[in-house]
A = this chain, B = another copy of it.
Amino acid sequence: MRWTGAHLELLDQRRLPDEIVYLACHNAEEVAGAIREMVVRGAPAIGCAAAFGYALAARAGDDLERAAALLAASRPTAVNLFWAIARMRATRGDEAAQAEALAIYAEDIAANKALGAHGTALIPEGARIMTHCNAGALATAGHGTALGIVRSAHAAGKRVAVIANETRPYLQGARLTAWEMLQEGIPVTLEADVAAGHLMSHGEVDLVLVGADRIAANGDVANKIGTYTLAVLARRHGLPFYVAAPCSTFDLALADGRAIPIEERPADEVTGFRSERWAPRGVAVRNPAFDVTPAELVSAIVCERGVIERPDRARIGALLG
């Protein structure tokens, strides 16, 4: 995303990898719409976008409480959104709002680079890294969380290869993660989500590395639907299951993952894709966009402050409290 000083430009992720098109947002309403419609997605990225949306409202002299409410109502699961809006509401005046949004943006890039460096220590030479959805540059202000670690390890000269789950229904793995890795020249293999267990059982995966949308105080992790299944499979196969996220993704007010609201998205994401419809008319659909992985299945959480091995309330509190 780009802040021009006058408005926010968002790379329209719905059109990737086919087209590179930026969408200009001139007010909080347009930013909220862009988040809701998945022009921009990924927990840290929607936090940054919301911050700029608030800054646009401050500049225009719009009702700031209404702007904050609009932005907060765009999507329910990623806590970075609410964290960023809370930071913005503590500012006073147009200039302070713009400065705070730019700070949130810059801090996110710095956090990703720091967690990338911490996480690199977890990646063995030659690692075949399975990831889910897109926790890359596109999901953040830049560099990425899970893919930030991949980038940092690659930049440090480690030989790594990514196995990208396509991530139905919205196909962020196929469209975004595969594209980001191809751009960087990092080896990437795409698979349907259903193949993850087969590859693990054939010894073709060394570790699983994903991002997060919200992490509760006990280490339970909400992330893209399908993440929980990967954690269960990783446990069965004795593979490390790592989560990468900045501190802004932790929600220490939540005791555990049961209270994390799980967004249910429209049926038409499941019954087809773009112009294609393949399910019969009239079929009922369930489309939860996230799931919760219990902390006991998480080998470590990597944030900008360091690595939390076997995360629990005490270890998370010790680093973040």
Do residues A175 and B279 form an inter-chain contact, with CB atoms below 8 A?
yes
Give the docked Cα–Cα distance between A85 and B178 (Å).
Answer: 42
**Residues of B contacting A179 in the complex (Cβ-Cβ under 8 angstroms):** 280
CB 8 Å contact bits of A135-169 with B (1 = contact, 0 = none): 00000000000000000000000000001001111
Q: Of residues A163, A194, A195, A236, which shows the largest number of chain B Cβ atoms within 10 Å of its Cβ? A: A194
The A contact surface, by secondary structure, is mixed
Give the docked Cα–Cα distance between A288 and B193 (Å).
Answer: 11
- A191 within 8 Å of B (CB atoms): yes
Give the docked Cα–Cα distance between A166 and B273 (Å).
Answer: 13
Do residues B228 and A201 form an inter-chain contact, with CB atoms below 8 A?
yes
**Residues of B contacting A91 in the complex (Cβ-Cβ under 8 angstroms):** none
Give the docked Cα–Cα distance between A236 and B194 (Å).
Answer: 17
Contact of A194 among B163, B168, B285 (CB under 8 A): B168
Q: How many A residues face the partner with a CB closer than 8 A?
A: 53
Which of A39-47, A63-71, A182-190, A210-218 lies on the face that meets chain B?
A182-190
Q: List 21 A-B pairs, Cβ < 8 Å.
A: A166-B168, A168-B168, A171-B278, A174-B283, A175-B278, A187-B284, A189-B284, A189-B286, A191-B286, A194-B226, A195-B291, A197-B226, A197-B291, A198-B292, A201-B228, A201-B292, A232-B236, A273-B273, A273-B276, A275-B275, A275-B276
